[in-house]
Structures are given as C-alpha cells and as structure tokens.
Amino acid sequence: MTRKVCVVVTARPSYSRIRSALRAIADHPDLELQVVVAASALLDRYGSAVQTITRDGFTISQRVYLLLEGENLVTSAKSTGIGVSELATAFDNLAPDAVVTVADRYETLATAVAAAYMNIPVVHVQGGEVTGSIDEKVRHAVTKLSDLHLVSTKLARERVIKLGEREDTVIVTGCPSIDIAAEVAANPQLDFDPFERYGGVGQRAELSGGYLVVMQHPVTTEYERARAQVEETLYAAKGAGLPVLWFWPNPDAGSDDTSKGIRVFREHERADGFHWFRSMSPEDFLRLLVNATAIVGNSSVGIRECSYLGVPAVNIGTRQRGRERGANVIDVGHDRAEIAAALGEHARRGRPASDSLYGDGRAGVRIADCVAGAALSIDKHLTY
Amino acid sequence: MTRKVCVVVTARPSYSRIRSALRAIADHPDLELQVVVAASALLDRYGSAVQTITRDGFTISQRVYLLLEGENLVTSAKSTGIGVSELATAFDNLAPDAVVTVADRYETLATAVAAAYMNIPVVHVQGGEVTGSIDEKVRHAVTKLSDLHLVSTKLARERVIKLGEREDTVIVTGCPSIDIAAEVAANPQLDFDPFERYGGVGQRAELSGGYLVVMQHPVTTEYERARAQVEETLYAAKGAGLPVLWFWPNPDAGSDDTSKGIRVFREHERADGFHWFRSMSPEDFLRLLVNATAIVGNSSVGIRECSYLGVPAVNIGTRQRGRERGANVIDVGHDRAEIAAALGEHARRGRPASDSLYGDGRAGVRIADCVAGAALSIDKHLTY
Amino acid sequence: MTRKVCVVVTARPSYSRIRSALRAIADHPDLELQVVVAASALLDRYGSAVQTITRDGFTISQRVYLLLEGENLVTSAKSTGIGVSELATAFDNLAPDAVVTVADRYETLATAVAAAYMNIPVVHVQGGEVTGSIDEKVRHAVTKLSDLHLVSTKLARERVIKLGEREDTVIVTGCPSIDIAAEVAANPQLDFDPFERYGGVGQRAELSGGYLVVMQHPVTTEYERARAQVEETLYAAKGAGLPVLWFWPNPDAGSDDTSKGIRVFREHERADGFHWFRSMSPEDFLRLLVNATAIVGNSSVGIRECSYLGVPAVNIGTRQRGRERGANVIDVGHDRAEIAAALGEHARRGRPASDSLYGDGRAGVRIADCVAGAALSIDKHLTY
Amino acid sequence: MTRKVCVVVTARPSYSRIRSALRAIADHPDLELQVVVAASALLDRYGSAVQTITRDGFTISQRVYLLLEGENLVTSAKSTGIGVSELATAFDNLAPDAVVTVADRYETLATAVAAAYMNIPVVHVQGGEVTGSIDEKVRHAVTKLSDLHLVSTKLARERVIKLGEREDTVIVTGCPSIDIAAEVAANPQLDFDPFERYGGVGQRAELSGGYLVVMQHPVTTEYERARAQVEETLYAAKGAGLPVLWFWPNPDAGSDDTSKGIRVFREHERADGFHWFRSMSPEDFLRLLVNATAIVGNSSVGIRECSYLGVPAVNIGTRQRGRERGANVIDVGHDRAEIAAALGEHARRGRPASDSLYGDGRAGVRIADCVAGAALSIDKHLTY
C-alpha cells in the first residue's frame, strides 16, 4: 500500500536542505508526497519558497500561516503554539501516514508536537547534532517525539541512540543538503550574474577577483546583543577589501535588530563593495559559494555544505557550537580583529579538500527508501 | 535576590501532586510563588481546582483557558498549541525567573515549550520515569527542554542523566505526591462521609466492610478501544461484591467514550453498589484509599501513593507500563477475569508494607530548596 | 457557472433551522453545496449533529473545532476569535462563492467576520429580528457585514432596510425552520417512543394525558443569575402536575450554572415526572411539540415553530424580548407563580390557530433560488 | 467611583487620532486610563508607537501581538480572530468599565467583539462615516456592537441614529485628530529637518520651494491591483517637479504589493526628489502637511486634518468614497494624468480656508467627559 508522506517546509533554507528527499519521495513507487508550506517559506519578505517549490514540480497541499509579527521572545513562543494548532488542521485534512520534520527550528517542534498528539509517526531528519542556543533544546526534544531518525553523520547516530532511541530506528542517510552540493560541485562554474538575477540592494561588483559571502543570524539566547554582533561582522567584511555578498537573516527573535544594524551601517558608512540579497535558489547559492573566497558568519552552510564543497569558512560566535566540522572551518568570536585574522589564515592555508563528513550526495534517495521501508510505529520507550 | 517561581497547575490530580512544593516555595525566604491555573483545573465538570487552591491559601496569578472541546486527537494537538500561545502571554505578564512544570501531560509540554522559547529556565518535576502511550514521548521531550530536573527515584535520575543532562542538574527529591500520603498515613482514619461531602451519582454504601476505588483513564494511543476497556473494569468491579467508589476520567482523547461506557452500564445494569465521584480533596482521596480494600484501574496513584500507603493495587493495561512499582501492585490486562483473579490474589497476600520507593514525605521542601539554590542557566548541551 | 455555497452549521438547533435550505441548495442545478460543521454541532455532549447531517445525505466538507472550554464570558469571546481564525482556514481550503450564516450566535458572527475579510459574499439568514441580550448586538452587526439578507418576516425586512441595506438585497423567504414544522403539521401523530429512542435521564412517563416540553437557556447578560432562573422554572414545571420533558441548554456562558441547578434539583427533589433529553432529530422534536400541552422556557422554538404548529407557549424572561410573536405566546418573568398562571390561562384559552408569521413552509427553496440568482457583490455602502 | 477606561491603540496613525482623548481621560478626576498597545503599533517595521506613547507620559498596561504574517486576505481574517482571543485575555486581566475602540480597522472590530462578549460597554469613536471597501462593513458592524457613539460630524450622528442607535447614546464630539491639527495650526512653522530627524530612504531635498506629501494604502477589496495603483501615483508625483515625501503604507492585505511597486520604481527610475519615511510623530507630520504644497494619495488625513489645516488634497480612488469632505479636496481616479490635472487645478485655486467640518480642536476633552458621564449599559435594542 502506498504511504502518504507529508513534508513540512518552513523556510527557504530548510527547503533547500530537504529538496532531494522531496524529489525521491515523489518518485518512489510506494510513497505519495504531500507538501505543506508554512511560516516564512510563504512570505515575500523572507524570499518566498512557493515559486521555487512549484517550479521544481511539486504540488503544494496546504499553506499554513503561523508567524505572529513581533520577532521577540513572546512572539516566537506564540508562533510555535499557533503552528501546533494550524498544522494539526493541515494533518487532519491530509491524513498522512508519516510526517517528516527537518532540523531544529520552532516550526520543526510544532510539526513534531502536532503529529505526535495525532498519533502520526514522526520522521526527524538531521537529529543528533550539537549546536548552541535554543536549537539545542528543540532538536533533542524533537528526537524524543520522533519515531524514525534519519541522521547526517555517524556521530549523530551514536548520540540519538544514547538519547534512548532504538538502534533500528536510527539510520545514517547523510544530509540531503549535500545532495545539491554534490550536483553543483560536479559543474562548478559561476554561470549567472547574481546582481541581474536577484536584484537586492547595493551596487554590483566585479566578482572574478574573489568575494566574501556573509550570512549571520541572531542567536535567540543572546538576542539583545544581535545588533552589536552584526556590526563586528560588517566592519570586518568592509576591512577585507573584497566584494561582500550579504544575505538577510531568518525571521527569529532578534532579526529586527540584526536588520537594523545592517541598515544603520548602510546609511552611515561607505558600503561600496557590499550587496544585500534576500535569497537565491539553492543551486545558485551553492554555486556562488563554491566560487567564493570564503564564507563568513554563523550559518550552518559554512560547516555543512562548504565542507563538501571545500570552501573556507569563518564561523563566528556560539550558534554552531558543538557541530561537527571539517578542516574548512576556523572559529572566531564576535570581534572584527579575530574575523580578519581568520580570513588571513585561510588565505595562507589555501583551498581545503572536499570532505564527505555530512554526506556523499545520495541522502534524498536513502531517506525515501527508509520512509518506505521502516516499520513506522508510534509506540516507543526509552531503551534504558 | 528573591526568585519568582511560576508553577503551572493544569488538573486537580497534578495540583495534588505538587501542593507540598507550592507550600514550600511560598514559605521559602528566597522565593516568591506565582500560581498559574490552567486547563481542566479551571473547569467545573472535571472538578475545578480553583476553590481548593484558594482555600489552601494560594493566590492565583493568572487563569489560562486552553482546552478546545472535542476530546479527540485533533483537539488534543490544538489544545497543546493554544496552551503554548496562552501560557506565553501569562509568562510575559508574570516575568518569572523559573517555571515549574509537572509530569507528562500536554499542558506540561506546552508549559515547557513556551518557557523555553521565552528564555525562562524550566524546572521539570517527575522526569525520567517510563510508562506507555504518548506520555512517554512527552515526558522525555520535556526533559530535553528543561534546565533543572527534580525526579522521584534513583532510577529516574539515572535515566535523565543517560538522556544527556548534566549530573549536577538532576536531583532526587522524591515525588511531592508522597508528602500528602505521608501526612495521611500518620493519621489514617476515614473521618468523613464521602457521599455527604462530595455528592456524586449513585446510592450511598456501607464502607466499613471494605470497598474498591476505581480510576481508569483512556490511553491516547488506544483511544478507539476506550469504551470496551472500561466495560471490562465495570463488570469486574460489579463481580467483586464490594461497594465501588468510581472516579471520572481526565479530559483526554477518548474520555468521552470512557464516560459513555460508564453511562450505558449505569442505565442497563443494576449498579447498586456503585457510586461515581468527580473529584475530592487530595487528603480525602488518599484517606479513602488508605482504608480501601484495593484500588483498581490504570491511575498512577495505585503505583505511587499506594506504594507508600500500602494499599493493594490492580493495575490494568498499558498506561503504567514501565513505571517502577513496589510489591503492592499486580498487573493485569483489560479482561474482567484477570482483574477478578488479581483481587483474589491480593486477598490471599494481605496488606503490603509501606515502601518509600517514590519518596519519604519531604519532597516539597527539597524542591523549594533546589529551585532556590540552583544555578538556573538556560544554556545547555548534550553531555555526549 | 455553478456557484459554490458554503453553509456553516454550528449547533443541532441551527442545523434544524437551515436543513431545508441545505436540501434545496444541494438540489439546485446552479449551486454546489459545501457543509462546514463547527462548534457544538461536532460534540457528543451537546448532541452531535454529525450523524444526523450524514444520515440526511449531506457530505461534510470540513470540521471546525472552536469551542474553548470554560463556558464563561472570557471563553465565549475567545471561542469567537478561534472561530474567526479556524473558519478562515476552512474558507481558504473550500474557496466558496458565498458563505451562508444563520441567526445570531457567536459562530454566526465568526463566520461573517472571516468571510467578510476574505472578500467572500456573506448571506445572512434570519436577520432583522429583535430579541434580548448579546444576540441583539451580534445579529445586527452580522447584518452590517453581510451582502444578502434572507429574512423571515416582513417586519424583519423593514428593519434590515432601515439599517441601511439596499432594498434589492433584502428578501422575505420565511424561516426555513418552519419548513420542517409544515411537514410535521401535515402528519402530526406522535409515532415514536421518545424514552426508548433517545434515552436520557429520568423515568418514562405516560404522555397520552398531555405533557410539558421545557427548554431554557442562560441569558449571557444575566449569566450569574442562571441557576436561580432555572430553579423557578423547575418548581413551576413540578407544580403543573404533568409529565415534563426537559432539554439541556446550549453551551454558552452560564450553561454550567443552569446544568448545576438542574442537577441539584434532581438530587434533592422528587422529580418523578421529569425526564431529561440531550437532543432529538428536528422532526421528532417538532412532533413531540405539536402533541404537547405547552412549551415552557425561553427558546425561540416556542415563538417561531410553535406559532406555526399552534402550540401554547409560556415564554420566560428577557431572552426573546422584542421578537415578533403570535397569539400562542404568553410572556412571564422568572417567577414560578407567573409561570403557573400562564399555564392556567392557556388551558382556559384552548389550542391556538396556526399562524404563518414566520413562514409558509417554502423557505428553503426560496433561499436556494435567491443565492443562485442574486448579484453577490462584496461592495456596499450605507443607503443614507 | 472612578471608571477604568481601556483604550486599544493599534497603529501609529490611530494613536495620533486618539491621543488628545487619552490625555483628557488620564487627566479626568473620575476616570482611570488603561492603554493597550496592539498590532502594528508594537512593530518597528511600521514605526512602533511604543516609544511615542511612553514619551507622551502614558503607561502601557498590556501589549497584544495579533498580526499573523502574510498580508493577504486569509491572514487578515486570522489576525482578526487572534485579536479577539488575545484582547479577551487583556480585558480579563484589566477588568475595565468601558473599552474605547477607534474607527474601522480589523483591530477595531476585534476590540468590539471581545468587549461585547465580555459584557463590557463599548465606546466607538469615529462611527457613522461612509467610505469604500471592507472598512465600510466593519465600521457599521462596530456601531451595532457598541453602546456609546462619539462621532466626528453632525451627518455621522444622523447616520448612527438611523442605524437604530438611541439618540442619547450618539454625541458629536468632533474628531480628536483635529485637536492636534489645531495645536499645530496655531504655530505652523516647519521648525525641524525631517531628513535628519526621521532618516528614511532617499536623498534630502530643499523644501522651501514647496513639496508633495504622499500616503497611499492598498484597498482590500482591490488588493490584487495594489501594485498597478501605486505606480500611477509614483509617476504622477515624479512628474510634478516637486520634492516628494512618501510614507509607507499600513500592514493590510496588499501592502506587500504596494511596497514592491515602490521598491521596483526606486530601482528602475531616477527618483532623485523622492524620500521615503516610515512614520513621524503626529505633530511633526501635521507640521510637514501644513507647509506642503499638497497631499496626494488615499489617506483620510487629506480629508480630515487637511480640511482643518487648509491643505490642498488630491484624493485618489475609492478608499475615501462617501467620506464628507471640504473644499480642500479634489477627487481623481488611479490615473497619472488625472492626478497631475488635480495638482494643476489646486495651484490655480490657491490655498483653501480652514474648515471645522471634522472638529474644532476640543474633541479629546469632550470624549473624556462623555465616557465619564454616560450611563454605560450593555443592554440595547434597535430603536425600530
């Protein structure tokens, strides 16, 4: 019998990470794909994923609005609650046999809570990793609410098993985000003009001499420092003497302050080499990365995809604390001098080799196979 | 500096379990107690805890309505979501330094989610235990969202530590429900008439020759069998030839069916020795128990408080699966013959001895001391 | 082109009132019926309308849970808000060309608000009437949010036009509740045993010598007096010396107190001739009425259907204040002596004649024709 | 006894309109002011009113987040529902004796619905006016939910009475927005540099030779045309050859499209004379207006405050349709040529005289006196 598998897509980056799995689920003879698009994935101002998803050939089964405006701690909590309630309606309408939830955002938790209370088996992708901030609590709470764990690394598998999950329910598939990276790495030329294709704010720059990509999100446990933190990165990037391609942050507590820091910088400093983008297609973004001098900020992309792609990364602050990393990463604090020093060190070391720590490019197919073949019970117990 | 400690009370039984801690927090020189009363604790039809709480001398800081009517899986999920959103408002108004959440209900999870996203330290009481059904997922998910773990038994502590929590944040306080049991055990005479004091439905019975107490909740993963399951217990209780004091179930998915099973039985069978109660004060309930011939059903009271009180318990079905138990418990399936046989076996064995497995009667004071003395950080990581 | 017409059914009585219109919409060649079942119409404890609706041959398009437990003023307001939000999701999924909302309950208002903000034309049935309490505010607010007004009486039409609505958008169809009354009146024998078919609480009674039907709802602006008010009716009914068939109230602020008054009466008084019902099918209920000695209470049934059926009605208190009434109604206060006197007066007067004040039995067909033929714009202005 | 009067402020412009009433309520010996700040008034990206309100010396009693992100018709409806539910909590905490709601936005309706169901008297300011779009439905629905009507003009009073409200509950106070206009008109010099004080986007311009102020909101019943409509205004303003001071629109369905239209214009056209502002203090904004050559767009400010101030207004499209207007207004369609022609006609006519159509500058004091002196019953009926 065909299993109906519902994947909840909640943001452009998380769509990027799960897309190859969506494709493999849609193509699997024993599975029927249901796509729920929710939260910032629906919103123009964060780079709506709707058009991308549709252009990629997927049908959107339900749209779920859940973000309460405010971007502070209260509205984060309330958005999570609205998400649980609204996703329950979507699951009630779609009656899936399994729900797939990705990573560690509040929509991830909302998805797992709604499905668990509705007795629908929960499949968690990207569990067992260790980072900083509230994501850490949420990721492992989602593990405890989930019935099947499709993880990125061997170490992640060991951790999920230590968390009391049965060994046969924890499988290393690799991270599906690496699947796109593998495609891009096979054909890495920068074959488009990002300024022309994606607009954004700022002047165009000549990219053939190298450039920085910057992506910095507020850290929810430190959100009152978001503005000061982004300023260090802004001045370090300015000092590097390279064009800077900067991506706006996710909608989280603190993102208003991060954005304000950027806007003030833009108004008071000569930011000639800077250009701000909302978002790009996953392929274009990775293609931009693979050709970059380095990535700077606190996005997991610097650690995950850039490890496979062999792109030097300067990882700032606590947000990725505890995440496994390859030789492409240098960690620094929120300090413009440290950031500058790390960029210098990367220049001395040269290009890192590709590393399959987070996957080999076949995660999507493995995820679909696991979801099709797993026992999918909702009844589980601590193994100790 | 005085710490503001917010305790969320969500049902009459959970109030009973935490009351000695409320008292100790209110009395502690370094703590200020905030009481949020929510969910079924506010509702007359489940035995409102409001009057009891007020009569016990506590001030109610906020009332939070969160139960969406329907009592099915969709409304359970949606009630959890409403709970997260509404409790976030309450915490925003009260600005506590720590939030205390108890056990494993959906309000427990809603409390932990709301507090975690608002960067408020979460204190979880009764973590690390093992049972059946959705509670199992929720309890350990709450552990992963919590910062301080005040557990009932040594085995529970070991489990929470295995779940990756730091050893210094996991403390055996015993279960505060045992504190009331200890008071009652010190002075155990049945000094009130339950029919007169609590009304209820059914005729009065002579209790001096022994009686059964029955408490049976629907199991959310088996809720379509709720009615058949309660019928086995009804007929077994009828067959025992003793007066039966029956307590209505909690508002969960399936409780409408459990209630319907009871109502149909009542209309079609001679239920002369049966009497149905909504709820009682914790002391009166425990006093009724300590004088009972046995407790029958699937309430944790049979395993926890009755272990301390030395009351024979017939535990039915999967709901308490995995919970540590003392010599007072005989486990059976949903089968009237098995239930009858267990009652016979208890009669042969005689009264069990008191067992301090779940506490020694000083949990409340220990909880208050721990909350006052703990470091209370919101920043944590897996220990492996 | 076929118009998709979405009717929101929110309670058993309102289903009864609109059923002939549902039938006529489903049968109309230019209309497609969508049925949304919401609120207490979904709940067993208020007599779920789901089975009735399905047995009547209608397909339920969406189920919308919106009742927040508590039954006080805060939860009434919050349930209205939840209703607006949840119905918006339903309308988004169903994309109707018009939404039909009935009468003056909070679900009526929630329906009108959600549809109006979604630019869906709103058809209001039963506008322009005058009663007491919050219903009065809500009914006329719904008129101002609606685009097509299908009213029961000529006077109602005049009032809606005075409220500034365009004359061509206000049409007297009669009330569809009279359609069922007309069917029953054509064949009025009591051809079933209500005790056997509907169970309920209390002993069976011999009905051939006459009986009272009682239906009393709490009045939301007086809800703290609900218990005292119902007691007057209970004692008056007891004093009448006839069997009493009593129907439980709707879930509104105050209904817990009304129910408590009934339960206390039942436990303390000999209520031998009383029998309590949850609900009945519309036909059975009207058949019971047409054979009754009188109807007592504050339900609109006494004024509307009973006017057509020629059943003596004793209307108590303010709830129906201002509603047009025929010769079958005697109005009294919440006073057992007044109620008794009115029953005596009815006995002297004898059976009233049938009156077509609220309709001639063809309202459903007229409603379908109006919805199919109307211009259905969402753009409107005060006519003055 | 002092009356607690709760005023719900939901947006910067509505704060501006009601501020003199807040002041008068706070100063009134028989009244206690409660200020609830909600919706876009809390959000930085729409120009948070929080700092302004605090700086004006008012204490914020509760903050209510209710805007669900999406800015389409579904999220407008859902935000209204969330507003009803969240405001009910606020009113439950504050227990006001009366709630004041202003104008015709969805927060206005949410406020009136929540208060009405909680049996709190509702005072509606600015009822009885006639405009286009959904506001028209909402304004009169709020009238039907309200108990005291404090209107701006004699004609508005006549309309509210025709709507069936009792004459003694409908009082012409004038619009409190005119109170600030009167203060500014008494001392009209442009004594600040708007570019320096408010930042914004675009170059600074020399204002001494005249300038246009533009404010254009999407119309919810035409929201799919929002982008085309704003483009006509953009090109007309560009063609006028004067500096253009443009204010961003409110968060409504369609405002994303309006904003996108502006952003595309800014990127593709030389917009040298344009400057974009988020918001200003009421006084600064009116001071900017009184010195402007003209106001262009569809804001009610052009009709209300500018009538008193004697500022030429070009009113575009349907949004203000039906609103009473003075000699300072010329109405045009969404057409750049019509807009240009109207600016030319204003230039020929010269400066209009001040008109007290919407008030004489004493509305705030009258509102406070009315709220203090009114009977404030929640029980009302149609007068016909």
* B161 close to A (CB below 8 A): no
Residue C187 is given by DSSP the state S
246-285 of C, contacting D, C-beta below 8 A: none
C45 touches chain B (CB under 8 A): yes
pLDDT of residue A47: 64
Q: What is the pLDDT of residue C186?
A: 95
CA nearest to B93 within chain D: D62
CA closest to A78 among chain D residues: D65
Question: Percent of chain B beyond pLDDT 90?
Answer: 76
Which has the minimum average pLDDT: A245-259, B288-302, D18-32, D367-381?
A: A245-259
The highest-confidence range among A236-250, B126-140, C89-103, by mean pLDDT, is C89-103
> Searching chain A, which residue's CA lies closest to the CA of residue D43?
A70
Residue C271 has a pLDDT of 82
Chain D positions in Cβ-Cβ contact with residue C70 (cut-off 8 Å): none
pLDDT score recorded for residue D207: 94
Three-state secondary structure readout of chain D = CCEEEEEEECCHHHHHHHHHHHHHHHHCCCEEEEEEEEHHHHCHHHCCCHHHHHHCCCCEEEEECCCECCCCHHHHHHHHHHHHHHHHHHHHHHCCCEEEEECCCHHHHHHHHHHHHCCCCEEEECCCCCCCHHHHHHHHHHHHHCCEEEECCHHHHHHHHHCCCCHHHEEECCCCHHHHHHHHHCCCCCCCCHHHHHCCEECCCCCCCCCEEEECCCCHHHHHHHHHHHHHHHHHHHHCCCCEEEECCCCCCCHHHHHHHHHHHHHHCCCCCEEEECCCCHHHHHHHHHCCCEEEECCHHHCCHHHHHCCCEEEECCCCCCCCCCCCEEEECCCHHHHHHHHHHHHHHCCCCCCCCCCCCCHHHHHHHHHHHCCCCCCCCCCC
Determine the residue among C84, C93, C94, C117 to mutate to test chain A binding: the one whose Cβ has the most chain A Cβ atoms within 10 Å.
Answer: C93
Distance of residue B59 Cα from the nearest chain D Cα, in angstroms: 15
Write out chain B residues lying below 8 Å of C199, CB-based: 267
How would residue B13 be classed by pLDDT, with cut points 50, 70 and 90?
A: confident
Q: What is the pLDDT of residue B75?
A: 96
The second-level CATH assignment, the architecture, of C183-349 is 3-Layer(aba) Sandwich (3.40)
Q: Which residues of D touch C379 (CB under 8 A)?
A: 132-133, 221
Sorting pLDDT into bands at 50, 70 and 90, what band is B253? low
Chains that touch A (3 or more CB pairs under 8 A): B, C, D
Q: Tell me the residues of chain C between 189 and 218 that have a Cβ less than 8 Å away from chain B.
A: 199
Residue B47 binned pLDDT confidence (cut-offs 50, 70, 90): low
Give the pLDDT confidence of A21-62 residue by residue, as tens digits.
999 999 999 999 999 999 888 987 766 789 889 999 999 999
For residue C41, pLDDT beyond 80: yes
Report the pLDDT averaged over residues C285-309.
Answer: 95
pLDDT in tens, B187-225: 999 999 999 999 888 888 999 999 999 999 988 777 788
Cβ-defined contact of D43 to A74 (cutoff 8 Å): no
pLDDT surpassing 70 at residue A112 = yes
Name the pLDDT band for D85 (thresholds 50, 70, 90). very high
pLDDT of residue D30: 97
Interface probe with B: pick from A69, A101, A119, most Cβ of B within 10 Å: A119
Cα distances (Å, whole numbers) of residue A274 to A194, A203, A209, A215, D105: 13, 7, 15, 13, 40
In this complex, the residue of B80, B138, B164 whose CB is nearest that of residue A163 is: B164
Question: Given pLDDT bands bounded at 50, 70 and 90, which one contains residue C256?
Answer: confident
* A68 vs C contacts (CB less than 8 Å): none
pLDDT of residue A132: 64
Spatial neighbors of C45 by CB under 8 A, at least 6 apart, are B256, C278
Sheet containing B31-38: give its strands across. B60-64, B31-38, B3-9, B98-102, B122-125, B148-151, B170-172
Mean pLDDT of the B292-314 span: 96
Task: Answer yes or no: is pLDDT of A250 > 80.
Answer: no
Domains C3-175+359-373 and C183-349 in one fold: yes
> How far apart, in whole angstroms, are the C-alpha atoms of residue B178 and residue B309?
9
Mean pLDDT of C349-363: 95
- State the average pLDDT for chain A: 93
pLDDT at A244 over 80: yes
Mean pLDDT, rounded, for C22-45: 93
Mean residue pLDDT of chain D comes to: 93
Q: Per residue in C153-179, pLDDT tens?
A: 999 999 999 999 999 999 999 999 999
Evaluate if residue C362 carries a pLDDT over 80. Answer: yes
**Which range (A113-127, A229-243, B121-135, C88-102) has the least confidence?**
B121-135
Confidence of residue C264 (pLDDT cuts 50, 70, 90): confident
pLDDT exceeds cutoff 70 at A373: yes
Q: Chain B neighbours among A 98-117 (CB < 8 Å)?
A: 106, 109-110, 113-114, 116-117
Looking at the predicted structure, is the pLDDT value of residue C132 above 70?
A: no
**Contact: D69, A74; criterion CB under 8 Å:** no
- Please give the pLDDT value at position D264: 87
- pLDDT band with cut points at 50, 70 and 90 for residue A304: very high
Q: What is the pLDDT of residues D293-318, one digit of tens each?
A: 999 999 989 999 999 999 999 999 98
Mean pLDDT of chain C: 93
Q: Does position C142 have pLDDT exceeding 70, yes or no?
A: yes
Quick one: pLDDT at residue A252?
Answer: 66
Residue A240 in this model has a pLDDT that exceeds 80: yes
**How many residues can be counted in chain D?**
384
Q: Decide if D137 and C116 are in contact by the 8 Å CB cutoff.
A: yes
Spatial distance between the Cα atoms of A207 and A193, rounded to a whole number of angstroms: 9
What's the pLDDT at B46? 64
Q: Which residue of D has its CA nearest to C163?
A: D163
A residues 293-322 closer than 8 Å to B (CB): 321-322
Residue B53 has a pLDDT of: 93
B45, closest residue in chain C (CA to CA): C256
The average pLDDT across A190-216 equals 93
Q: Does B92 lie at the interface with D, CB-CB under 8 angstroms? A: yes
In angstroms, the CA B42 to CA B347 distance is 39
Query: What pLDDT sits at residue D47?
Result: 64
pLDDT classification of C251: cutoffs 50, 70, 90:
low
Please determine, for residue D222, whether its predicted confidence score (pLDDT) is greater than 90: no
Q: Is B241 on the interface with C (CB under 8 A)?
A: no
* Cβ <8 Å between D119 and C220: yes
State the average pLDDT over residues A113-137: 92
Domain C3-175+359-373, CATH class in plain words: alpha beta
Whole-number pLDDT of residue D132: 64
Model confidence pLDDT, tens digit, residues B78-106 = 999 999 999 999 999 999 999 999 999 99
State whether B92 and A74 contact (CB < 8 Å): yes
Q: A186-195, B322-331, C272-281 — which is least confidently predicted?
A: C272-281
DSSP A142: H
d(CA A26, CA A31): 7
CATH no. of A187-349: 3.40.50.2000
CB-closest option in A74, A117, A164 to B134: A117
Please tell me the least confidently modeled range out of B82-91, D40-49, D98-107, D236-245. D40-49
With cut-offs at 50, 70 and 90, classify the pLDDT of residue D252: low
Q: Which CATH number does A3-175+360-373 carry?
A: 3.40.50.2000
Domain ranges of chain C: 3-175+359-373, 183-349
Categorize the per-residue pLDDT at A253 as very low, low, confident or very high, splitting at 50, 70 and 90: low
Q: Could you please state the CATH topology (level 3) that the domain comprising D186-349 is classified under.
A: Rossmann fold (3.40.50)
pLDDT of residue D371: 98
Candidate from B82-91, C299-308, D262-271 with smallest mean pLDDT = D262-271
- Decide: B245 and B275 in contact? Cβ < 8 Å: yes
Which residue of A lies nearest to D75 if distances are taken between CA atoms?
A65
D224 pLDDT above the threshold of 90: no
**Residues of chain C with C-beta less than 8 angstroms from the C-beta of B44:** 256, 260
User: Percent of chain D beyond pLDDT 70?
Assistant: 98
- In chain B, residues with a C-beta closer than 8 Å to the C-beta of A72 are none
Pairs across B and C, CB distance < 8 A: 45
Q: Give D-chain residues touching A74 at CB under 8 angstroms.
A: 65
Q: pLDDT: is C138 or C13 the higher one?
A: C138
**Quick one: pLDDT band at residue C13, thresholds 50, 70, 90?**
confident
CA distance B340 to D189: 94
Question: What is the rounded CA–CA span in Å between residue D22 and residue D58?
Answer: 8
Give the chain A residue nearest D264 (alpha carbons).
A199
DSSP B48: -
Model confidence band, residue C272 (pLDDT cutoffs 50, 70, 90): confident
Is some CB atom of chain D closer than 8 A to the CB atom of A66?
yes
- What are the tens digits of pLDDT across the range B356-370? 999 999 999 999 999
Mean pLDDT in residue range B178-195: 94
Chains adjacent to B (≥3 CB pairs closer than 8 angstroms): A, C, D
Q: In what order do the strands lie in the sheet with D122-125?
A: D60-64, D31-38, D3-9, D98-102, D122-125, D148-151, D170-172
Three-state SS for C301? helix
ipTM (interface predicted TM): 0.86
pLDDT at A251: 66
Residue contact A70–D256, C-beta within 8 A? no
Contacts of C92 in chain A (CB under 8 A): 63
Distance from CA of C27 to the nearest CA of A (A): 26
Residues of A in contact with B158 (CB under 8 A): 384
Rounded to whole angstroms, the Cα distance separating C363 from C179 reads 6
Instruction: Give D177-221 pLDDT, tens digit per residue.
Output: 999 999 999 999 999 999 999 988 888 899 999 999 999 998 877
Residue-level pLDDT at C253: 64
Average pLDDT over residues D35-40: 93
Only one residue has tokens 């300038």, namely D211
Query: C252 falls in which pLDDT band (50, 70, 90)?
Result: low
Is residue B17 scored above 90 in pLDDT?
Answer: no
